Structure 1
Amino acid sequence: MRWSNLYKPKHSGGLGFRDFKIFNEAILAKQVWRLMHREDSMLYRCLKARYFPKHSILEAPVGFRPSYAWRSICAARHVIMDGSRWRVGNGKSIKIWEDAWIPGQGSGMVLSPIKMFPSDAKVEDLIIDVEARSWDKSLVEGIFHHAEASKILRIL
């Protein structure tokens, strides 16, 4: 079978593949997802020990002389990051200005300019009481644009 036949539709004698690059990226992104959710697997433990002992898999640097597999996994992480949002919970791991955490907003990122709050602040700094599920309403309304503030206040 010739390579050109791979892209032909099935009814024309091909295999019906549309774009190998996108297909490969999707398969690698699925592997990233598995690694994120199966931290007890041998593969996760080996990769973590070698490539990201101090980071999460999404934040890990590619590193010095990485394996082809690790480089490929790193290249596909953006698929997961572009399509996912944080669930707030206690907000300890979520960076206000860097992470996608606002539901119903295009990218999920904060669009309001950074005001009076440090650029490395976490979402937990906006919560008064996690168990009571309450935000510091005056702080949220003072930092964010009205539309964002209303979306944030509906999260907990």
Structure 2
Amino acid sequence: MDKSSVYFSPNTPLPIVQLISNVLQMTVVDDPSRYLGLPTIWGRSKRKALAFVKDAVKKKVDGWKQSTLSQTGKETLIKAVASAIPAYTMSCFKFLVSTCNEINSMLSDFWWGNSTSTGIHWKSWEYLGLSKNDGGLGFRNLQNFNDALLAKQAKRGSSPSWLWSSLLVGRSLIQNGAMWNVGNGRLVNLWSDCWIPVLPPSPLNLDKGRLNTPVSSLINWSCNCWDLSSIDADLSPLQSSKIRAIPLLADHFQDKLI
């Protein structure tokens, strides 16, 4: 138990803290630090949560700036070290585009600059990310790298953990019971999506779903009313009355999955 510790919410009463820590025989800590390189506690801000990755890259790059490096040396450090720093975290979380851009900016400054300035950026970082056959240097596109790592994790889902399997079951239940709240009808498939407010939610006609006809084709915005003449034959009296009862507010209102 020497390596174990326990962390409590700041709102936990002191007697409870003392009781539980005594029972567990663990030291109470104010900062649970990190586990497997990741922060144990994540705040609401994704930007702040991922700041430690950006700081780690910056620390490395700042250390390299003190040395006189050839472009070959810089290329090796960027590919082998700097681009590898966020790899583990990227395999767990989807990074913000802004965080990827900030890391790219630091690496670009390092590539073009020297110990005293960031230099002139003769080519964009996107161009340098092209393969060498296409004129670039093959530097990683961090957003694509992030997506690839997450996709690799998903591919391992053939034997997912109990927790992940449980979450997938919950997601399936939500998706099966979800229904579209029609705004302007442009995002909703008339035939294959659940959008008519009946219980249980069910699509109008899955066989016709491939037609990809939007619900907006039934809306006459000149009178803010439904025109069901084209699908009357496919509707029951209940479905027809439920559709006509859906309020039409304005063409700029978006459809929402609820």
**Normalising by the residue count of structure 1, what TM-score does the alignment of the two structures yield?**
0.47
Q: Higher relative contact order by CA 8 Å / sep ≥ 6: 1 or 2? A: 1
TM-score (norm 2): 0.31
